[in-house]
Amino acid sequence: MSVATPKFHALGALQIPRGMVWADEFGWNPVEKSLDYSVTGAALIDAAVRLAGRPITLQGEADAGWIARGGLLALQALNAADAVGEHVLVLADGRSFAVQFAPGLAVEARPVARPELPVEKHPYVATVRLITV
């Protein structure tokens, strides 16, 4: 008996299509280092492990990972209502993260095609920017 893979990522109670991939999963280093030199020329290396702030950017493409307009409106509403609150993100593969919306433009989207009056189910290519907390 096999366990079915969820069709969605979940941000709290909101569903995000699993076709929106984690675009910057491997673009972050948990170790922060700085390099300076002493007056004698010796290297002074300061290093620390980051405890939070890892970006999780879920991104759709023109041919995959579309999200419905209604889902986008719900994400924008959640961001506006609780921009610095902690949310649980569960990816479709089962990994779970405590996140909040990233600073700046956290939810960005453009419609597939150009509907004059898009309905709630109209698909969009979107980017959702989160950070771990």
What string of pLDDT tens digits covers the 133 residues of the chain?
Answer: 556 667 899 999 999 999 999 999 999 999 999 999 999 999 999 999 999 999 999 999 999 999 999 999 999 999 999 878 899 999 999 999 999 999 999 999 999 998 888 899 999 999 999 999 9
Expressed as residue numbers, the domain containing 27 is 8-132
Identify whether 123 is part of a domain.
Answer: yes
pTM of the full predicted structure?
A: 0.86
Identify whether 1 is part of a domain.
Answer: no
The answer to whether the beta carbons of residues 68 and 124 sit under 8 Å apart is yes
Could you give the CA distance from residue 37 to residue 87 in angstroms, rounded to a whole number? 41
How many structural domains comprise the chain? Answer: 1
DSSP sequence for 69-82: HHHHHHHHHHHHH-
Identify whether 16 is part of a domain.
Answer: yes
Per-residue confidence (pLDDT) for residue 115, from 0 to 100: 82
Identify whether 2 is part of a domain.
Answer: no
